[in-house]
Structure 1
Amino acid sequence: AKAVTIIRDNWGVPHIYGKTDASVVFGLMYAQCEDNFKGIERNYLYQLGKQAEVDGETNLYTDVQLQLIADSTDAIKDYHT
């Protein structure tokens, strides 16, 4: 966090500065969490197929569907390539 500088302009747009791509991405995610943490958290739960844990059983079928199509082995292979 000390390697990143986030400066917001007059319109609230974050301008992120860092020495590495990783530090800039960290700053971007930090700024997005400041702006919309609830939305990011909900999207994260959706991608994990765990919305029902927060919203109740109305999202159970969506969660099951997402967990059935998720292939972590394929995702890891894609990440390495």
Structure 2
Amino acid sequence: MANAKQVLCLILLVLLFSKLESRSLEAFIEGKKTLAKGCSRELIEKSQLLKASFAKATTRFTNPRVSKRLSPGGPDQKHH
């Protein structure tokens, strides 16, 4: 009985693997190339938009080392 189960399992595995055929690698690569070309254009456009937005954002901010605070006055103006 155990031998019959093992043979049945082996037959099922062979049938399963026979149904799993390998696909052509060339077709898979061609599909990737066309997808990559479309995505690369889109990514380039998005990166250019991001660069432009970062450039706008950096022009709004000034140098953090330059203080625009006014001195409080008094005898020692650098103290506070």
**Could you state the TM-score of these two structures normalised by the residue count of structure 1?**
0.25
Bigger RCO of structures 1 and 2 (CA < 8 A, at least 6 apart): 1
Q: Which has the higher strand share?
A: 1
For the pair shown, the structure with the greater C-alpha radius of gyration is 2
**Could you state the TM-score of these two structures normalised by the residue count of structure 2?**
0.25
